[in-house]
Amino acid sequence: MPAREGPPIGGGRVEARRVLFDDGRLRVIRNGESALLLCGEIDLSNSERLGAIMADALSPGGVVLVDLTDLSFIDLSGLRVLELVPCEGPMPAVRVRNVPPFVRRLLTLITGRPDDLF
């Protein structure tokens, strides 16, 4: 059976998806105009590059939306880039969605705050 082309089943808008970065551990996909989908692992080896990509993806309101649905690992450097724990220096305003339970648990352990961050 040939691959189906055209809009998704059920209609709706087809948003542009484009791979912005892929180092074999982390893939950053622009999902539409204002959202970034993160797939894989964020660690010290790629968190600085992720920060630069997020800065470039700022919306006119100065916010970048990050979807963590397919995130499988994150270390402290990644949490800092996503502004989930305090860090030094100006960072873009980040809004995260689809936060996996392991990230919520990690933030609770690191910050000592209940997982009311989202």
Instruction: Note the pTM of the prediction, 2 decimals.
Output: 0.77
pLDDT of residue 6: 41
In degrees, to the nearest 5, what angle opens at C-alpha 33 toward C-alphas 81 and 16? 115
The residues, ordered by sequence, that sit 6+ positions from 86 with a Cβ below 8 Å of its Cβ are 80
CA atoms within 13 A on the CB side of 13: 6
pLDDT in tens, 58-90: 877 778 899 999 999 999 999 989 887 555 555
Between 5-19, 34-48, 92-106, the lowest mean confidence (pLDDT) is in 5-19
Beta bridge partners of 56: none
